[in-house]
Amino acid sequence: MKIKLKSIRVKLIGTFFACALITVSVMFFIFMLLMKASENIPFAVFFLNHIIFFTVLLFLFLVFLLICCFYLFTNRRMRYFEDIHNTLEDIAGGDLDFKIPVRGTDELSELAMTVNHMTYQLKLLQEEEKRWEKTKNDMVTNVSHDLRTPLTSILGYMELISKGNYTDEKALKHYADVAYNKGINLKTLVDDLFEYSKLNSTELKLNRININLTELLEQIVLGFLPVFKDNNMEYDISYAHDKIMVDGDPLLLARMFDNLINNAVNYGKEGKYLRVEIRKETHNAIIRIINNGHTIPAEDLPYLFERFYKADKSRSIDKNGSGIGLAIVKSIVDMHHGTVKAESEDDRTTFEVRLPFKCESETN
């Protein structure tokens, strides 16, 4: 077993021997005094007549001296131990702002560093718990609002239809169409909530296969052709390689790109243009979804991938958005160990996704 030279055990042994050495030195000094005093015959006779008393007295004196030496040598470390104990009591009471000063390199110092690290981690967990509690409360509030908004409209129009408060068949059809569209929006929100909950479940397992991103994105963009036509939008797909292979779940990746393109259409239709770029670097495939339209304020960019966040600060779903589409994108990217970010300037918004390759040989 390896013994640390600066461990408490070694220091205690060293302290004990130092105290014993001092005690022996004192004993030797007293012995020399007695030898000198024994030259005086009356004292020698008195000492021999009371030898038991002097022996006990000398023994008690030496024990007292040993204790005093040991206390003096260990007093500083014991006070340090008391400091650690008091700090632990404060931490146990819920105060995580205390920090134990690290002194020396023995086990007490290591204990102090461990306690400080533990306190730091507990503080982070406490802050994280508060943040998640706030997020949960915000989510409940936002879900209630986003569910109530279309539901109120549906009930309002259905009430008009039920009571016959319409002038002709055209008005009736208009009320029914509005109620139907609101119902579709409501279903979209519920579906997205379910999808987001499923993606964040620890039980979800990815069905990873080797995927050609170029083909996958071409298929997804082709599926949006009717949407582009309805919104008078032009589109373009740019790629330098016919095969860019990644290891991932095709259904989840398709959902992620579908959300990004749908977001670009909903919030960039005024720009009338959407571009999809596919590139590759040494270790990553890079996909950019670019649309023209209103510039997203810089202060909103860091929060776009949070649940229910909308850059226009609107709590309505007039743009057919549930408010968690980009949060779903972030979850799927994280599950594939990739990154996603947004940039917006000069009426041009870019969402960039980076996904790692399965292996280098499959990207050539």
Instruction: Please identify, among 199, 217, 244, the residue that sits at the C-terminal boundary of a domain.
Output: 199
Residue with tokens 């797909």: 237
Query: 89 with 44, same domain?
Result: yes
Q: Assess whether pLDDT exceeds 80 at residue 310.
A: no
When pLDDT is cut at 50, 70 and 90, the band that residue 11 belongs to is low
Helix, strand, or coil here: 132? helix
Residue 317 in tokens: 């779903």
Q: How far apart are CA 12 and CA 71, in angstroms?
A: 11
Q: Which alpha helices (DSSP H) does 163-292 contain, by range?
A: 169-199, 213-223, 225-230, 250-268
Residue with tokens 């959407």: 274
Query: 193 with 264, same domain?
Result: no
Residue pLDDT, tens place only, 26-58 = 777 777 776 666 666 676 666 667 677 767 777
Q: Which domain holds residue 222?
A: 209-363
User: What pLDDT does 62 receive?
Assistant: 76
Domain-embedded: residue 111: no
Query: 139 with 241, same domain?
Result: no
What is the mean pLDDT of the segment spanning 301-312?
68
Q: Assess whether pLDDT exceeds 80 at residue 65.
A: no
Q: Assess whether pLDDT exceeds 80 at residue 95.
A: no
Could you tell me the CATH number of the domain that includes residue 229? Answer: 3.30.565.10
Query: 293 with 171, same domain?
Result: no
Burial (CB < 10 A; 0-12, 13-18, 19+), residue 162, is: exposed
Query: In sequence order, what DSSP letters do the residues of 268-327 get, joined into one string?
Result: HGGGTEEEEEEEE-SSEEEEEEEEESSPPPTTTGGGTTSTT--TT---S-TTS--S-HHH
Among the ranges given (188-197, 207-216, 230-239), the one the predictor scored with the smallest mean pLDDT: 188-197
| Higher pLDDT pick, 72 / 8 | 72
Domain-embedded: residue 277: yes
Could you tell me the CATH number of the domain that includes residue 187? Answer: 1.10.287.130
- Mean of the per-residue pLDDT values of the chain: 77
Domain-embedded: residue 355: yes
From residue 176, alpha-carbon distances to 161, 166, 316, 353 in Å are 8, 11, 20, 40
Query: 273 with 310, same domain?
Result: yes
- Strands 234-239 and 245-248, bridge-based pairing: unpaired
What is the mean pLDDT of the segment spanning 87-112?
73
Q: Assess whether pLDDT exceeds 90 at residue 147.
A: no
Residue with tokens 């016919």: 242
Q: Assess whether pLDDT exceeds 70 at residue 218.
A: yes
Q: How far apart are CA 90 and CA 78, in angstroms?
A: 19
Domain-embedded: residue 107: no
| Higher pLDDT pick, 352 / 65 | 352
| Higher pLDDT pick, 72 / 316 | 72
Query: 174 with 298, same domain?
Result: no
Q: Assess whether pLDDT exceeds 90 at residue 352.
A: yes
Instruction: Please identify, among 95, 125, 159, the residue that sits at the C-terminal boundary of a domain.
Output: 95
What is the mean pLDDT of the segment spanning 244-268?
88
Phi, psi dihedral angles at 284 (to 5 degrees)? -135, 150
Query: 146 with 180, same domain?
Result: yes
Contact residues for 21 (Cβ-Cβ < 8 A; gap 6+):
none
Query: 329 with 229, same domain?
Result: yes
Q: Assess whether pLDDT exceeds 90 at residue 185.
A: no
| Higher pLDDT pick, 50 / 320 | 50
The answer to whether 260 and 220 are in contact (CB under 8 A) is: no
Query: 218 with 326, same domain?
Result: yes
Residue with tokens 């119902």: 183
Residue pLDDT, tens place only, 279-294 = 988 888 999 999 888 8
Instruction: Please identify, among 95, 124, 147, the residue that sits at the C-terminal boundary of a domain.
Output: 95
Contact residues for 278 (Cβ-Cβ < 8 A; gap 6+):
213, 214, 217, 237, 238, 239, 240, 241, 244, 285, 286, 287
- Residues pairing with 340 in the sheet: 353
When pLDDT is cut at 50, 70 and 90, the band that residue 101 belongs to is confident
User: What pLDDT does 1 receive?
Assistant: 37
**The model's pTM:** 0.56
When pLDDT is cut at 50, 70 and 90, the band that residue 113 belongs to is confident
Q: Which of 319, 269, 264 minimizes the C-alpha distance to 287?
A: 264
What is the mean pLDDT of the segment spanning 206-214?
88
Q: Assess whether pLDDT exceeds 80 at residue 313.
A: no
User: What pLDDT does 360 receive?
Assistant: 42
When pLDDT is cut at 50, 70 and 90, the band that residue 269 belongs to is confident
Into how many domains does the chain fold? 3
Query: 352 with 276, same domain?
Result: yes
Query: 233 with 357, same domain?
Result: yes
Domain-embedded: residue 127: no
- Give whichever of 72-76, 185-189, 201-205 has the largest mean pLDDT: 185-189
When pLDDT is cut at 50, 70 and 90, the band that residue 315 belongs to is very low
Query: 217 with 335, same domain?
Result: yes
Q: Assess whether pLDDT exceeds 60 at residue 167.
A: yes
**Residue-wise over 69-83: b if at least 16 C-beta within 10 A, else e?**
bbeebbeebeebeee
The answer to whether 278 and 239 are in contact (CB under 8 A) is: yes
Domain-embedded: residue 124: no
Question: To the nearest whole percent, how much of the chain has pLDDT over 70?
Answer: 78
Domain-embedded: residue 100: no
Domain-embedded: residue 233: yes
Contact residues for 82 (Cβ-Cβ < 8 A; gap 6+):
none
